[in-house]
């Protein structure tokens, strides 16, 4: 398929809520394949359609080998555990910087597959963190918004300095 250009922070499209997918067609399959190729090239373990400038609720995750790639269409969190964890996060839209974010340890998500079939998935640990991170992105919440203002300001300065040195 195609490696697409990734939208970079602070592009305002990263803070816009994505629209639900209504057409489960070849165009959606091509978008999912492009997302996978773009994520692998970044490199990353998760990507959303908004990361490539497409305001649709589509997520691709690949936490392990090539066979583990999974596409989630119109995902949403149905339940989250009270137990929390801290996890280091970053973004393909803000490469080179990371910080710790507090997330639910376990979640249950509802989503549709590429054929439009409704599914439910239980996740914990890294997979749960990834679901929360990417669903936030689909809702227009860039991961840095989960940091305190002080941490966010420091992270943005680090990112800007990195960009100047490229």
The structural domains of the chain, with segments of one domain joined by +, span 12-165
DSSP 15: G
Local confidence band at 166 (pLDDT 50, 70, 90 cut-offs): confident
Catalytic annotation, pick one of 64, 100, 118, 134: 134
Q: What is the pLDDT of residues 76-111, one digit of tens each?
A: 999 999 999 999 999 999 999 999 999 999 999 999
pTM higher than 0.85: yes
> Is 67 among the catalytic positions?
no
Q: Given a cut of 90, is residue 47 above it in pLDDT?
A: yes
| Neighbour tally for 125: CB within 10 Å | 13
Tokens representing 95 are: 């490469």
Tokens representing 61 are: 């995750």
Superfamily of domain 12-165 in the CATH hierarchy? Peptide deformylase (3.90.45.10)
């Amino acid at each position: 398929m195609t490696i697409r250009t990734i939208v970079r922070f602070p592009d305002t499209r990263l803070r816009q809520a994505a629209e639900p997918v209504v057409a489960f067609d070849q165009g959606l399959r091509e978008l999912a394949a492009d997302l996978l190729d773009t994520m692998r090239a970044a490199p990353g373990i998760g990507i959303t359609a908004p990361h490539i400038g497409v305001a649709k609720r589509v997520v691709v995750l690949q936490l392990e080998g090539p066979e583990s790639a999974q596409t989630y269409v119109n995902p949403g969190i149905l339940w989250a555990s009270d137990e929390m964890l801290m996890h280091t996060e970053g973004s393909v839209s803000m490469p080179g910087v990371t910080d710790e974010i507090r997330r639910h340890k376990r979640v249950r998500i509802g989503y549709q597959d590429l054929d439009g079939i409704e599914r439910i998935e239980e996740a914990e640990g890294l997979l749960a963190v990834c679901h929360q991170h990417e669903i936030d992105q689909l809702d227009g919440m860039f991961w840095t918004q989960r940091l305190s203002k002080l941490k966010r300001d420091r992270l943005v300065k680090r990112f800007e300095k990195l960009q100047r040195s490229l």
